[in-house]
Amino acid sequence: MPHTPDVVVIGSGINGASCAFQLASRGLDVAVLERDVAPAMGSTGKSAAGVRVQFTTEANIRLSLYSLPVFREFESRYGRDIGYRPIGYLLLVPEDRWERHLESVALQKRLGAPVEVLDPHEAQRYVSFEPTGLAGATFGPWDGVIDPHMACLAWVEMARELGVHFRMRTPVTAIRRLGDGWLVSSGNESWSCGHVVNVAGAWSGQVGRLAGLDVPVGPKRIQIFLSAPHADPRTYPLTIDLSTGVYLRSEGDRVLFGLDNLQQPFGFTEGVDQEWLEHVLLTGVDRYPWWEEMAVDLRGSWWGYYGVSPDNSPLIGFHPDAEHWIDACGFSGHGIMHSPACGVAVAELVADGRTSTVNVDHFSHDRFDKGVAVEANIF
Ligand SMILES: Cc1cc2nc3c(=O)[nH]c(=O)nc-3n(C[C@H](O)[C@H](O)[C@H](O)COP(=O)(O)OP(=O)(O)OC[C@H]3O[C@@H](n4cnc5c(N)ncnc54)[C@H](O)[C@@H]3O)c2cc1C
């Protein structure tokens, strides 16, 4: 592995792999350093795999409008299956959010996103629920799921074919300035490079600190639960009850479900919390009365980390306190779906000094406390 690449990418999750592929497509020499034994072992391997266009801010809708067609056409463009299934996202909207929700739907449609507005009765064709308190529902027919492992490994392979070097079991332990660029070290081994790309997910704040930089991204534990086999021939879309936040979707013949714990303290908390499972079931059963009969498979449940920023939206851009350092992290629950846009934006920042395909100004480091619109559809 050469030790003087143009770019060192730290982290080999879905965003590191997407960045590596796009950087190499621009003719750059790239080394990816990953502390784990294989790609996709961080949050990428733990996600609910959902991809959607139904956001409330123009910036996020545009990231999705770039990214979803990449997933939809991945096989025809690159000859690789990434498990894209357009099962849809179904948002169940309570009366007090309906007007605001329709404003976002108008924005999504104006920007070119396909979204259908349904009354609660029509929405029942997708999944059974108790409609009390709901004004309506929206369905995104492009939305659905991909297989994040397959997508990450596809980009790793495609990047390797373009000459990118991936090094596993290589935790970055020290970073310092070297001339205009950086010296990145793992134990006794070092790489000198022009640019560093910090795509270390929930660990990006730690990586920033190695270089003396404040990257305001930290970990938050998120849990996902799985039912035992469930008899319904329908494939449930990724359905979110916006009155409680409880979500579910089909996973084979089972139901995958969860709820973001807003009280969850930040930090690398481990394990599945059974009290939270009970809370999710009790919160969800009013909307989905069939949960009374649904058995839970605890062995099929799991947990992982969101990398979160102060406003739950990502940081994508140059660090204000250090030249040639780019962060692409803090994606909370959107790092799978926005990975195509992340890769192309990072490659343009490195190669051209600015982006032209997707605008990432909204995700700059200096946006906080400046009245920038905050995304409301964070799940
Ligand atoms: C339960 C759950 C459900 C989710 N559901 C969705 C969803 O439905 N849709 C969606 O879009 N997103 C979802 N997400 C979020 C999504 O998983 C993440 O945003 C995404 O995986 C981030 O990818 P990444 O490549 O940026 O980070 P990661 O996949 O976490 O990769 C970062 C990598 O950096 C490595 N690393 C860390 N420190 C170092 C170091 N010092 N040196 C070298 N390597 C290092 C790690 O080992 C890791 O492999 C979910 C997340 C969780 C936990």
| Residue 211 in contact with ligand 1 by CB distance below 6 A | no
| Residue 317 in contact with ligand 1 by CB distance below 6 A | no
Rounded to the nearest whole angstrom, what is the distance from the C-alpha of residue 306 to the centroid of ligand 1?
A: 7
**Terminal CA-CA length for the chain:** 40
- Domain co-membership, 295 together with 227: yes
| Residue 11 in contact with ligand 1 by CB distance below 6 A | yes
**Tokens of residue 26, six digits:** 């621009």
The position carrying tokens 């990953």 is 34
- Domain co-membership, 208 together with 227: no
- Domain co-membership, 164 together with 232: no
| Residue 62 in contact with ligand 1 by CB distance below 6 A | no
Distance CA 293, CA 61 (A): 37
- Domain co-membership, 278 together with 355: no
Instruction: Tell me the per-residue pLDDT of 346-364, one tens digit each, with 9 for 90 and over.
Output: 999 999 999 999 999 999 9
- Domain co-membership, 293 together with 165: no
- Domain co-membership, 135 together with 234: yes
| Residue 337 in contact with ligand 1 by CB distance below 6 A | yes
| Residue 184 in contact with ligand 1 by CB distance below 6 A | no
Rounded to the nearest whole angstrom, what is the distance from the C-alpha of residue 138 to the centroid of ligand 1?
A: 28
Distance CA 301, CA 235 (A): 19
Ligand 1, residue 186: give the atom nearest the CA: 42
- Domain co-membership, 226 together with 208: no
Residue 355 has phi, psi (to 5 degrees) of -95, 150
Taking the alpha carbons of 128, 130, 136, 138 in that order, is the dihedral positive or negative?
Answer: negative
Closest C-alpha to ligand 1, atom 35: 11
Ligand 1, residue 332: give the atom nearest the CA: 19
- Domain co-membership, 231 together with 198: no
Rounded to the nearest whole angstrom, what is the distance from the C-alpha of residue 202 to the centroid of ligand 1?
A: 7
Ligand 1, residue 258: give the atom nearest the CA: 1
- Domain co-membership, 158 together with 298: no
| Residue 207 in contact with ligand 1 by CB distance below 6 A | yes
- Domain co-membership, 298 together with 162: no
**pLDDT for 110:** 98
| Residue 15 in contact with ligand 1 by CB distance below 6 A | yes
> Where among 308, 334, 351 does a domain terminate?
308
Which structural domain range is residue 275 located in? 89-141+219-308
Express as a percent the part of the chain with pLDDT over 90.
Answer: 94
| Residue 16 in contact with ligand 1 by CB distance below 6 A | yes
Closest C-alpha to ligand 1, atom 9: 50
| Residue 330 in contact with ligand 1 by CB distance below 6 A | no
**pLDDT for 192:** 98
Instruction: Tell me the per-residue pLDDT of 117-156, one tens digit each, with 9 for 90 and over.
Output: 999 999 999 999 999 999 999 999 999 999 999 999 999 9
2: pLDDT strictly greater than 80: no
Q: Among 124, 144, 111, which Cα is nearest to 251's?
A: 144
Q: Number of folded domains in the chain?
A: 2
The pLDDT-based confidence of 23 (bands split at 50, 70, 90) is: very high
Q: Give the DSSP per-residue string, 330-346.
A: -BGGGTTTTHHHHHHHH
Distance CA 171, CA 150 (A): 23
366 CB contacts (<8 Å, ≥6 apart)? 320
> Where among 292, 308, 324 does a domain terminate?
308
| Residue 201 in contact with ligand 1 by CB distance below 6 A | yes
According to DSSP, the residues that pair with 3 across neighbouring strands are: none
Ligand 1, residue 173: give the atom nearest the CA: 41
**pLDDT for 264:** 78
Distance CA 133, CA 35 (A): 48
- Domain co-membership, 346 together with 358: yes
Mean pLDDT for all residues in the chain: 96
3-class DSSP state of 313: coil
Let me know if residue 73 belongs to a domain.
no
Instruction: Tell me the per-residue pLDDT of 241-259, one tens digit each, with 9 for 90 and over.
Output: 999 999 999 999 999 999 9
Domain of residue 280, CATH code: 3.30.9.10
Q: C-alpha angle 221/126/243, rounded to 5°?
A: 45
Contact between 141 and 148 (Cβ < 8 Å): no
Containing 285, the helix (H) or strand (E) segment is none
- Domain co-membership, 321 together with 183: yes
| Residue 44 in contact with ligand 1 by CB distance below 6 A | yes
The whole-number average pLDDT for the span 22-47 is 98
